[in-house]
Amino acid sequence: MAFLTGAILIMDYVFSNAAVARSFTTYLGTAIGVSAESKWRITTRESSVLNMILTALHIIFIMFVIIMGFWRGDSKNFTEPSDPTRPSGFFPFGASGMFNGAALVYLSYIGYDAVSTLAEEVKNPVTDIPIGVTAFVILVTVLYCLMATSMSMLLPYDLICCLGRDAIDTISRVNSILNAPEEH
């Protein structure tokens, strides 16, 4: 049974990563005007370097949002929605709203089990793997909390939900907040 579970996990990772890589490669090639797919074939070493570069860019972006949120954000956004007809206060949707939000964030913690495949790579897997996974989960949790706090300081909660539906309007509002003159 363990073999079957492991095989299913590996197939899940392979198929999902292949699908994302295939569609992203086509999208990126079209965006920059390179349509020959053979030009996009890279080695494992090149893929590893690209993965590290993209991860570094992702972390830089997250840190940028966190810094801008704390620097230019407004703490009144924690309690005052932009639309006065919506619930206000620090906990506007109560426990059910908190659990709904936690359920969404829970999906971001999927994948830490992949670290167990690194057991052959480390010198002392019995202690290094649990320490690494625990430290990484704590780091990601802290970053998520800082990101949520900074986003809530940049925009009231009822505008953050519009990112998927009305992104241009939301981005222009963030831009107007960031370009607003500082109050002294």
Measured between alpha carbons, how far is residue 52 from residues 10, 23, 65 in Å? 22, 20, 20
Token match 């992203």: residue? 24
Read off the pTM: 0.59
Q: Could you list the pLDDT tens digit for every one of the 184 residues in the chain?
A: 666 776 777 777 777 667 667 666 766 676 676 665 556 666 667 777 887 888 889 889 889 989 999 999 888 888 888 878 888 877 777 888 888 877 777 666 666 666 666 667 788 888 888 888 888 889 888 988 898 889 888 888 777 765 555 555 555 565 566 566 655 4
Rounded CA-CA distance 167/159 in Å is: 10
Token match 């929605």: residue? 81
Q: At what angle do helices 167-178 and 44-72 cross, to 10 degrees?
A: 60
Number of helices (H), then strands (E), in the chain:
6, 0
Rounded CA-CA distance 73/152 in Å is: 8
Class of residue 155 by CB neighbours under 10 A (exposed 0-12, middle 13-18, buried 19+): buried
pLDDT at residue 66, as a whole number: 92
